[in-house]
Amino acid sequence: MKKLSGKVAVVTGASKGIGASIARHLAAEGAAVVVNYASSKTGADKVVAEIESAGGKAVAVQGDVAKKADIERLFAETQAAFGTLDILVNNAGIYEGEALGQITEANFHRQFNLNVLGLILTTQEALKYFGPEGGSIVNTSSIVSTLSPAGTAVYNATKAAVDNLSRTFAKELGAKKIRINSVNPGPIETEGTHSAGMVEPFQAFAAVTPLGRIGQPDDIAPAVVFLASPDSRWITGETLYVTGGLR
Ligand code: NAP
């Protein structure tokens, strides 16, 4: 018996990178998965096709999860496709590197609107769809929430906020049997970090990572499956660092 048979999961930002891997791993454990994306329809369709060809169930649903109307449509389409909701992975996020002198209202709002406000609005909307048995919410945070590297203060602050939201909402949602935790990856090679030119600079972290390399999306997804599954039934409000030992 697969760990997530009969469960329905929404993964935001699942057309590529860490989210795509999370979607594939949840489906491999039996969950029906909604593969959300903002603009990369081709990427999302490819993830769905991979899941289906492995015998799983998935649909792609477009929606900008920084926008309330899109979030409402995302869950309405989830219900239409699969009837309920058991697992929400708030993974969509953006990182824009800027030192103090380069921080603007625009780059502040772009990052906070998606990484923090979007996560709050998505969680709020999801509550309307979880059943009486509750469920699990996993937030993709980051090692930067506590490592606080120079040059990415706004992004670091969004992820510190995510950790705090996981702890706070765990207290608010426990009575509904909904658990909520953060997974905090270290540097990961993804489409996003490639296009931001970060993979080369990340190699400096490999040298000081006990396990000797930077991470891949498939290093993160099994931790999300664990937090989504009954194996973690007594865990809520936690931050799980998945970093090869880099802290
Ligand atoms: P990525 O390769 O850039 O992929 C981002 C995903 O998010 C894409 O599927 C993208 O969809 C989607 N997305 C972006 N804006 C969206 C929006 N407004 N609404 C819905 N979906 C949206 O990113 P990644 O590197 O995998 O990172 C994923 C998460 O992990 C983020 O929260 C990031 O902060 C966190 N993280 C990453 C690293 C790392 O080193 N990579 C480390 C720690 C934490 P479209 O392509 O359609 O826009």
Provide the 10 A C-beta neighbour count for residue 127.
17
Residue in the structure block whose two tokens are 């060809």: 53
Tally of helices (H runs) and strands (E runs) in the chain: 10, 7
Find, among 92, 126, 123, 127, the residue nearest to 110 by Cα.
92
Eight-state DSSP code of residue 176: G
CA of 95 to the centre of ligand 1 (A): 8
Classify strands 135-140 and 8-11 as parallel, antiparallel or unpaired: unpaired
Whether the per-residue pLDDT at 1 is higher than 90: the answer is no
Helices (H), 29-136: 41-53, 68-82, 105-112, 119-126
pLDDT in tens, 104-163: 999 999 999 999 999 999 999 999 999 999 999 999 999 999 999 999 999 999 999 999
- What is this structure's pTM? 0.99
% of the chain residues with pLDDT over 70: 100
CA separation for the pair 25, 185 (Å, rounded): 16
CB 74 within 8 A of CB 49: no
- Pick the catalytic residue from 37, 95, 129, 155: 155
Domains recognised in the chain with CATH numbers: 8-241 (3.40.50.720)
Mean pLDDT to the nearest integer, 42-61: 98
CA of 144 to the centre of ligand 1 (A): 15
Pocket test for ligand 1, best of 12, 95, 109 (most atoms within 8 A of CB): 95
Whether the per-residue pLDDT at 26 is higher than 90: the answer is yes
Eight-state DSSP code of residue 231: G
